[in-house]
Amino acid sequence: MSGQRPRVALVGATGHGLWHRRRIAPLHEAGRLRLVALVDVRPVEPAPDAPVPDGVEVFTDHREMLRAARPDVVVVCTPPHTHLPIALDVLAAGADLLLEKPPVLSVAEHRTLSAAVAETGRACQVGFQALGSAALAELLAAVRDGRLGTVTGIATVASWQRDDAYYGRAPWAGRRSADGRPVLDGALVNPLAHAVMQCLAVAAAAGGGAPVAIELERYRTRPIEVDDTASLRVTLDEGPVVVAAVTLAGEEFIPGEVIVHGTRGRAVLEYPTDRLMLPGEPGLREVPGRVSLLENLLDHRADPARVPLIAPLSRTGGFTAVAGAVHAAPEPLLLGGDLVAATGEGPARVTTIRGINGALRRAAEELALLSELPVGWAARPYRVALPVADRPVADRTGTWTRRMRCDGK
């Protein structure tokens, strides 16, 4: 019986990898899978809530692990700039993949990985776990059923704080690139990636087409290479616009709202807490339940026709188009002086942009960029039009594929 359990390996076993180990441990105990290997270039310590079961081999090189442990499924939770080469090796070894977000960092990398998925016939699930939320599913159903009328815009607003310790957590923290490859550890592509992805999923349900233009303003309050505050608008070739107004230098905490503007009403999803408000409802209510991406991948392997992946690579093409624009954009504007307050000492120091919450809220309500509002410090937006061949397209299930060119290639 144990021979039939899918053999699972985890690459990147400390850091966020511990979160995966905590979820793999009970599935291993229950006989749902068999954890066969952990891989990390750093020492892997046992954790009380994520024990390393007997017989699990620990490797420092994922290729050696693939040869020796022959896993059926590999979870990849390494820094973003390492994702593509490791993912390609996993697929070439014949294993299915759960790849952490951001899956890849350019449209070209997305295309390379999509081609490998198609050629090998393996599954690639991306670690956008909020896509498995029951609250999102209810919102998507309401949008598809026309309960909001025609959806005219989707916006996300989030106001977080990150301290100096956060930017010292890893060599790639706050960096635009690492080891010569994009890493993009900014607000939009890393901590608030889920906010952007949720909006794009709603846009697809509302009949949104391919992204045709991306407008972007990026700001920073510290000597980092990426944004800690950003204003983004994605125009699709049909359907609603998508706006993101986010900061890691916020005043009051806003966990992350996805606001859907429709001709018959407005919906709000607070995605980190899975609380939802549909038109006519008095406030946010909890919609508990998330389908685990790993369990969904195991179910999909067992019965692909009946169980679609929740977060297939193909669904993340729009997100990666945003990441590509972030990489191509000029360096973020450094804010300072009276505009930015610093509080706390040493690693606990945080920064706050005065008036930021009001500005972000207004951007989300008006589907505007900060530079289109009376925000004196706003930068000129970086604007990029996506060439037709680079545009991913989405169907109403939210599955993104690359647009076929007229010549069929």
Ligand X SMILES: NC(=O)c1ccc[n+]([C@@H]2O[C@H](COP(=O)([O-])OP(=O)(O)OC[C@H]3O[C@@H](n4cnc5c(N)ncnc54)[C@H](O)[C@@H]3O)[C@@H](O)[C@H]2O)c1
Report the nearest approach of ligand X to the CB of residue 17 (Å).
6
Contacting residue, 114, 125, 133, 190, with ligand X by CB under 6 A: 190
Q: Does 162 bind ligand X (CB under 6 A)?
A: no
Q: Which is nearer to ligand X, 14 or 161 (CB)?
A: 14
Task: Give the 3-state secondary structure percentages of the chain, helix then strand then coil, rounded to 5.
Answer: 35, 30, 40
Contacting residue, 22, 29, 31, 42, with ligand X by CB under 6 A: 42
The DSSP bridge partners found for residue 57 are 37
Contacting residue, 101, 162, 176, 315, with ligand X by CB under 6 A: 101
Q: How would you class 174 by CB atoms within 10 Å of its CB: exposed for 0-12, middle for 13-18, buried for 19 or more?
A: buried
The DSSP bridge partners found for residue 232 are 216, 244
Q: Does 187 bind ligand X (CB under 6 A)?
A: no
Q: Does 320 bind ligand X (CB under 6 A)?
A: no
Contacting residue, 21, 78, 316, 393, with ligand X by CB under 6 A: 78
Tokens of 43: 């020492």
Place of tokens 């996300």: 156
Do the beta carbons of residue 176 and residue 234 sit within 8 Å? no
Contacting residue, 28, 33, 37, 82, with ligand X by CB under 6 A: 82
Strands (E), 300-381: 333-334, 340-343, 350-353
Q: Which is nearer to ligand X, 41 or 47 (CB)?
A: 41
Q: Does 39 bind ligand X (CB under 6 A)?
A: yes
Q: Does 170 bind ligand X (CB under 6 A)?
A: yes
Contacting residue, 6, 7, 9, 12, with ligand X by CB under 6 A: 12
Residue nearest to ligand X (CB): 15
Contacting residue, 9, 10, 11, 278, with ligand X by CB under 6 A: 11
Q: Does 314 bind ligand X (CB under 6 A)?
A: no
Per-residue x/- track, 347-366, ligand X (CB under 6 A) = --------------------
Q: Which is nearer to ligand X, 77 or 356 (CB)?
A: 77
Q: How far apart are CA 332 and CA 220, in angstroms?
A: 6
Count of CB atoms situated within 10 Å of the CB of 358: 12
Of 314, 395, 317, which is closest to residue 107 (Cα–Cα)? 317
Q: Which is nearer to ligand X, 197 or 245 (CB)?
A: 197
Contacting residue, 5, 32, 41, 292, with ligand X by CB under 6 A: 41
The set of residues, in sequence order, having a beta carbon less than 8 Å from that of 203 and lying 6+ positions away, is 151, 154, 234, 236, 239, 240, 242, 318, 394
313 by DSSP, 3-state: which?
helix
Q: Which positions touch ligand X (CB under 6 A)?
A: 11-12, 14-17, 39-42, 62, 77-80, 82, 100-101, 127, 129, 170, 190
